[in-house]
Amino acid sequence: MFTSPPFNPGDLIGALTACRDRTLALFADLTPEEFYQQLHPDFSPLGWHLGHIGFTERLWILEYLAAMDLPPDPRRQLWAADGLPKAQRQQLPDFATVCQGLREVRSQVFAYLEQAQNLEQLPLWCWLLQHESQHNETIAFLKQYHRGLPVAPRCDPLPPPDLGMVAIPGGKVMIGNDSPWGQDNEQPRYGVEVKGFWCDRFPVTHGEYQAFIAAGGYHDRQYWTDQGWQWRSQNQITQPLYWQPDSPWQYHPVCGVSHYEAAAYARFVGKRLPTEIEWETAASYTGTNTLTYPWGEAEPTANHGNFDGNLGQTTPVNAYPFGQSSSGCWDLLGNVWEWTASPFAPYPGFQPYPYRGYSQAYFDGQHYVMRGGSWATRPWGLRNSLRNWYHPWVREIFVGFRCAHS
């Protein structure tokens, strides 16, 4: 995976091709219903995501970067993120037609790339790869939301994890990512003084969360915020969305929880959610410097964590000893995203890229930051500094959490 200049068109073509192969593989077993219809009222049909990927590549590479004089796109309103409302995106061309459009755009993109020399635009290519990867993950979780969970884990049994907390040292920690991979909301990189704290060694497991359910935590007002209790009551929530009570899942991370549920559990056990700065400190800070990945600077492999759809589901939280951080935290990248206590907000000196609405529209105090990635996250979107964000009631995504203590 290319990570920095010098600009190598061959490496970029390889990455774009690998990402597209993964995208198309997600559609190999799709039914017509799954392709055309909304599987959830808050998300677009899966077929729309495929067309939007091609539209975005055409817009930013062929129209913006290459400044090609192209005929108007007759489906611009359909494919644009700010076009039709999600509920009106179900009148789609068939799969073969959408794929033909993807191939036509990609052919022109590669022809341009083979003669391109502009190193300054590497961040745009990195952004484009991550954009497609993000839509891959949306497709993956909507498929699972619609189809339901697998019946049993497929991994070999492991000894029980050593559940508990580890001490995270304080200090001057560098937050963010100024490389071409860094999204606008990760930049500019800046230093912040972090006080030492305690952090869960692992994400909260099914077995741990079962205690909250068994103790009546979903019916005990004292653990919930006002907004969380209202949400729980109105929607009659009594367990996580992707709940697996069976013993084979005991040491898998709890998955499909809202921010409200995560915060309620943390109060139940006398802890709290970590701030996103604390989370990044636990993942990257060695006491003297910060790392791109919990284990160092080596690019992610299948030995480091559960990501890239390799297994198609979660694994026990202690399945990847080579993925732990220097502080002793496991399972930070992959398996499930992790809620933090932090509203999504700009870093000091933030500048929007590649367009104003990409991140800035969500700096509204109503979205909360998630960190870490899930089993469906592509490698191009996997690093300690990456920020994801959703409303606190959203739980269709592959998201769990770990707790902290001052």
Q: Which pLDDT tens digits describe the chain residue by residue (406 residues)?
A: 554 444 678 888 999 999 999 999 999 999 999 999 999 999 999 999 999 999 999 999 999 999 999 999 999 999 999 999 999 999 999 999 999 999 999 999 999 988 876 666 889 999 999 999 999 999 999 999 999 987 777 666 789 999 999 999 999 999 999 999 999 999 999 999 999 999 999 999 999 999 999 999 999 999 999 999 999 999 999 999 999 887 889 999 999 999 999 999 999 999 999 999 999 999 999 989 999 999 999 999 999 999 999 999 999 999 999 999 999 999 999 999 999 999 999 999 999 999 999 999 999 999 999 999 999 999 999 999 999 999 999 999 999 999 999 9
Tell me 174's DSSP state.
Answer: E
Structure tokens at 130: 């991550």
Closest to 254 (Cα-Cα) out of 331, 306, 314: 314
Residue 206: what residue type?
Answer: H
For the chain, the 3-state helix, strand and coil shares in percent, each to the nearest 5, are: 40, 10, 50
Compute the distance between CA of residue 223 and CA of residue 234 in angstroms, rounded to an integer.
17
pLDDT at 120: 67
What's the pTM?
Answer: 0.96
How far apart are the two ends of the chain, measured CA to CA in Å? 38
Residue with tokens 């077993």: 29
Predicted confidence at residue 154, as pLDDT, reads 67
Say what the alpha-carbon torsion angle 359, 360, 363, 368 is, to the nearest 10 degrees: 0
376-404 pLDDT tens trace: 999 999 999 999 999 999 999 999 999 99
Element (H, E) at 341: strand 337-343
Burial 324-346 (b: 16+ CB within 10 A, else e): bbbbebbbbbbbbbbbbbbbbbe
Q: Would you say 52 and 84 are in contact if contact means Cβ atoms under 8 Å apart?
A: no
Q: What is the pLDDT of residue 5?
A: 47
Integer Cα distance of 289 and 291 in angstroms? 7
Q: What is the pLDDT of residue 150?
A: 77
Contact criterion met (CB below 8 Å) for 9 and 66:
no
pLDDT at res. 9? 80
